[in-house]
Structure 1
Amino acid sequence: MTIRKTLRTRKLTQRARQLSAGTMMTLCLGAGAALVPLTVQAQSFESTQRQPLDSVVAVVNDGVIMRSELNERIAEIEQQAAAQGGQLPPRSQLARQVLERMVMDEIQLQMASRANLSVDDTELNRQLRSIAESNGMSLDQFADAVEADGMSLASVREEVRREMLMRQVQQRQISQRVSVSDREVERFLEQQPSQQGQSFIEETRARHVLVELTPTRGEAQARSRAEQARQRLQQGEDFATVARELSDDRGSGMNGGDLGWVRPGQTVPAFEEAMNSLGPNQLSEPVRSQFGYHVIEVLERRRQDVTEESRREQVRQAIFQRRANEELEVWRREIREQAFVDIRL
């Protein structure tokens, strides 16, 4: 099974940005295309041979962008434009525009590296599966389609991983800069007509121990620490005691790891998926999310009428997302100005 490369690439890049919707723990990612408006091209690793003479076209802090990398990106954009019948600016102008996007990507990826952010294979595979499903395919069918288009699944995986890393950086930065007050939500609802009907959701009362990755604690050390926490809990130690000692979640750690009643969409997908698979009083294996490793315990579940609360949350997310989009552009300008960038076109 194959699909047209232009259609697949467009859907790929859109879905690569559409991570899960959440509360303040994550941005509302359903509008991911609005958050990162420029199209990202999946780079082909099939043709990695450089031109006999390569050169640096940009220095970005302590990193560089090579002319061969720029030329590969431009070639893919030209190929897509030709397939779609689109018009591109003159080559020199296009090169400057593409290079500027590559500079911004490099700045954000450097920020992700300094923060020791990572995307593990479980998260990446989940995202690739979502991309495949958006094209009406299984993951195997999607891999076949990618290869039929002359690309490799490895190159697509790497591009999606980069996008997810940049999204983590954006989430951390923008969520700290945007807030929505209760009064703003009330003001919006007062202007809307009343709605009929009820809405019910299932809530889960859970607690967890979070072990973060830090500049001094890598992937293996973080997982090992989470395993130690789980072993102590299995041996009968008090959950609250272990959480206060080991958890890096400052909010819940002081409460013995208690998260209270958690609703669908309030946690990141990896956490929610693991939590939903547990029965009451059941302990999870260490679960990897963008925040680190979690050891989760489900205490109980209940069904709640959230008709009015659901409306309020939808309004809050809509206001938050609009402001996040605006703040993202301000933040991008700020990090561009703060970075050392030497363009050598």
Structure 2
Amino acid sequence: MRSRKIASLGRVLGLAACLVALPLTLQAQEYQSLERRSLDQVVAVVNDGVIMQSELEERLQQVQRQAEEQGGSLPTGVNLRRQVLERMVVEELQLQMARDANLSVDDTELNRQLRSIAESNGMSLDAFADRLEADGMSLGQVREQVRREMLIRQVQQRQVGGRVSISDRDVERLLAQQAPGGPTEQAVIEENRARHILIGMTPNRDESQARAMANDIRRRLQQGESFAALAQEMSDDQGSALNGGELGWLRPGQTVPAFEEAMNELPLNQVSEPVRSQFGYHLIEVLERRRQDVTQESQREQVRQAMFQRRASEALEGWIQEIRSQAYVDIRL
């Protein structure tokens, strides 16, 4: 015991001697480095990556904040820390797979997703950033979190999507079990045949310029210029522009909410005011409307979606257990 104490003391004295020999500025830098290492430490090694204590603490704060907002309850103490860390380990494994596969998230798509999140909360992107700051977060942090989630989704779709298949026979069998006598409720929907011209925001065109451009195109349409010709020339929706802006028959839920709401309120053959969505500004014209009985089709699709979600969830859980068991993971809590 005495020899171990002396050896330990010798190491301390040796370190002190080194510090004395260093200039004061280097001593301060070394002390700050040691202090940082003492404040932060590795809590998990995941293959060739690590999860730091500071990252775990940040995630714990997010989880607790979300639980408070939703009125939910959480495990306490060590159990919560272990559950959150395990979730972070699984995320890190999937992000490593994304890096190995050279997957990436397009900045335009990422910005669109952030704008969509803000709009789903009834806020502009600026108001959303202010709200995050008030909650102790930044738009940059959320942007990085969304980017990670989008990468993980890509990995899951690649790895799990192909493992799930739903046949027509599966659907018919479940339908027969649920409603042996056939459909009990009629489903009738209203469809719109519409066309649009989209003016999006670009690095060289801000929102006010896009809105002004859309208003100018609407004025030209009112003066008699061809909708199809202007769509081909001006629309940023390349998929429909070549077809004169035609979108075909649209069912409820096939377009973003702002577009669908404006389309449903439009009289036939009238061009809308510029309609703002996460994609930019739309000029919409409804050419026809019809009602469709989709009772059986709707039931089949609902059953197919329910079966897919259940099987995909089971496949995802099995795949996660698989990659977790194959990885090198060292938990250091």
Higher relative contact order (CA 8 A, sep 6+): 1
Cα shift at 1:293: 2.3
Question: Which of 297, 300, 310 is equivalent to 2:284?
Answer: 297
Cα shift at 1:126: 4.2
Count of residues in Structure 1 that have an aligned counterpart in Structure 2: 266
Cα shift at 1:266: 2.0
CA distance in 2, matches of 1:294, 1:127: 17
- Does residue 1:71 correspond to 2:57, yes or no? yes
CA distance in 1, matches of 2:218, 2:57: 54
Question: Which of 235, 240, 243 is equivalent to 2:220?
Answer: 235
Pair 1:307–1:85, CA change in 2 (3 A): closer
Task: Indicate the structure with greater helix content.
Answer: 2
Q: Which residue of 1 aligns with 2:110?
A: 117
Is the 2:210–2:281 contact (alpha carbons within 8 Å) kept by the matching residues of 1? no
Is the 1:207–1:259 contact (alpha carbons within 8 Å) kept by the matching residues of 2? yes
Cα shift at 1:263: 1.8
Give me the TM-score of the superposition, normalised by structure 1.
0.52
Is the 1:204–1:263 contact (alpha carbons within 8 Å) kept by the matching residues of 2? yes
Pair 1:267–1:103, CA change in 2 (3 A): same
- Does residue 1:271 correspond to 2:259, yes or no? yes
- Residue segments in structure 1 that go unaligned for 5+ positions in a row: 1-50, 131-142
Structure exhibiting the larger radius of gyration computed from Cα positions: 2
Is the 2:218–2:273 contact (alpha carbons within 8 Å) kept by the matching residues of 1? no
Give me the TM-score of the superposition, normalised by structure 2.
0.54
CA distance in 2, matches of 1:232, 1:297: 12
Mapping of 1:1-345 within 5 angstroms?
53=36, 55=40, 67-74=53-60, 84=73, 86-87=75-76, 89=78, 93=82, 96-97=85-86, 99-100=88-89, 103=92, 111-112=104-105, 114=107, 116-119=109-112, 123-128=116-121, 152-153=134-135, 155=137, 170=153, 174=157, 185-186=171-172, 188-191=174-177, 192-193=179-180, 194-210=182-198, 217-218=202-203, 220=205, 224=209, 228=213, 231-236=216-221, 237-247=225-235, 249=237, 251-280=239-268, 281-289=270-278, 292-299=279-286, 300-325=288-313
Opposite residue 262 of structure 1, the aligned amino acid is: L
- Residue segments in structure 2 that go unaligned for 5+ positions in a row: 1-33, 124-130
RMSD: 5.4
> Which stretch shifts more, 268-277 or 98-107?
98-107
Cα shift at 1:235: 0.5
CA distance in 2, matches of 1:228, 1:342: 55
Is the 2:74–2:80 contact (alpha carbons within 8 Å) kept by the matching residues of 1? no
Cα shift at 1:310: 2.1
Q: Deviations over 1:18-76 (max 9, x none)?
A: xxxxxxxxxxxxxxxxxxxxxxxxxxxxxxxxx9626585999xx99764342232356
Cα shift at 1:206: 1.7
Q: Percent identity?
A: 38
Cα shift at 1:200: 2.4
